[in-house]
Amino acid sequence: MSVPTDGDEVPVLEVRGLVKHYSSGSRLTRDRRVVRAVDGIDLTIGRGEIVGLVGESGSGKSTVGKCVTRLTTPTAGTIRLLGRDITHLSRARMRPLRSQVHVVFQDPFSSLNPRMTVEQIVSEPLKQHGVGSRRDRESTVGEMLEKTGLARELRSRYPHELSGGQRQRVALARALVLRPALVVADEPVSALDVSVQASILNVILDLQADLGFSCLFITHELSVVEFISDRIAVMYLGKIMEETTRERLFREPQHPYTQALLSAAPSADPAAVRAQERIILSGDIPSPAAELPGCPFHTRCPVAVERCRTERPALTAKADPEHRTACHLVTADGAPDLQALARA
């Protein structure tokens, strides 16, 4: 295999300056609109690391997932998978590398071929990459389904005969059957019942511990990223606002947007809820079609200053190299505290 042997030296995924623009409107008339779904992001995922990518809907997080798995071609930037530049590989050149990256989609009702049985779905990656004999594949598929906690009897079933949770287990088995280095999970539990969500998240964590893959976990639910991620990147309007370890992000969020996001998350602890002021942002997320100067968050940020409206802040580490924030107001000396502001 083309996997570099120098271990931890090469990150599993290295994204630099990723841009994805979609253009809409007529090609003939002047009213062409460019939607900046992803507008220059950097992201690195190490071996065995689970990185959570959180953001509101429309923040571009799913587009990042599509670019990384090369289900779409980025407009600019570079994507390196295990050190190899895959940014502009053609479908045919990308094909052999697909054994190293797979994806789990949000909706398990539409992501599985309704005309294939569970067994066929899970063995398809093995078949397409010519792995093993028929019998080998059968046992690999059986092993994988067992790992995801799916009953043996369900193998000859069709996706519509399964529950949402069972389907997502099938999707997980299909994504992992080739033992890829990276799995992109695009809102894998958002379509499921809350009771099923926890069991799927636990399966992902167990499998990760067992197989050691890296994971880009995309979601809009803070409780989910808090449960699953080692590191978290917060996205807003196509850009990463803040990126740090899970503990740090939840303990001391620096970016005003992250602070607002965390204060909006429901909590089961009434004392914590009472102690916390809810920071209410005015307005909606601006249209990604509009070109916005300065910080993308300045239209809704309660502490924005003149500089925020004109100059785009870079994602940099201020005090701690592990904690990077894209905000002019965050300095080595500290960050604005929206909680205190809301209490005042």
Question: Which residues contact another protein by CB under 8 A?
Answer: 69, 71, 91, 95-96, 98-99, 101-103, 105, 107, 110-117, 124-125, 128-129, 151, 153-158, 160, 171, 174-175
Pick 125 or 313: Cβ nearer another protein: 125
Nearer to another protein, 91 or 274 (CB): 91
Q: Using alpha carbons only, how large is the chain's radius of gyration in Å?
A: 21
Q: Which C-beta is closer to another protein: that of 30 or that of 115?
A: 115
Q: Report the half-sphere exposure of 67 (CA within 13 A, side-chain side).
A: 33
Closer to another protein at the Cβ: 68 or 200?
A: 68
CA distance 111 to 65: 15
C-alpha–C-alpha distance, residues 173 and 141, integer Å: 8
Closest approach of Cβ 260 to another protein, in Å?
Answer: 32
- CA 85 → CA 8, 12, 97, 134, 252, distances in Å? 18, 12, 11, 33, 35
Q: At what angle do helices 118-128 and 164-176 cross, to 10 degrees?
A: 20
Considering the complex, what minimum distance in angstroms separates the CB of residue 92 from another protein?
8
Compute the least distance from the CB of residue 24 to another protein, in Å.
16
CA nearest 184: which of 65, 72, 96? 65
Quote the tokens at residue 325: 């924030």
First vs last Cα of the chain: how many Å apart? 60
- Shortest CB 202 distance to another protein, Å: 18
Q: Which is nearer to another protein, 119 or 242 (CB)?
A: 119
295: helix, strand or coil: coil
Residue position matching structure tokens 């995924």: 13
Give min distance, CB of 162 to another protein, in A. 11
Question: Closest approach of Cβ 141 to another protein, in Å?
Answer: 13
Nearer to another protein, 43 or 183 (CB): 183
The number of beta carbons lying within 10 Å of the beta carbon of residue 83 is 14
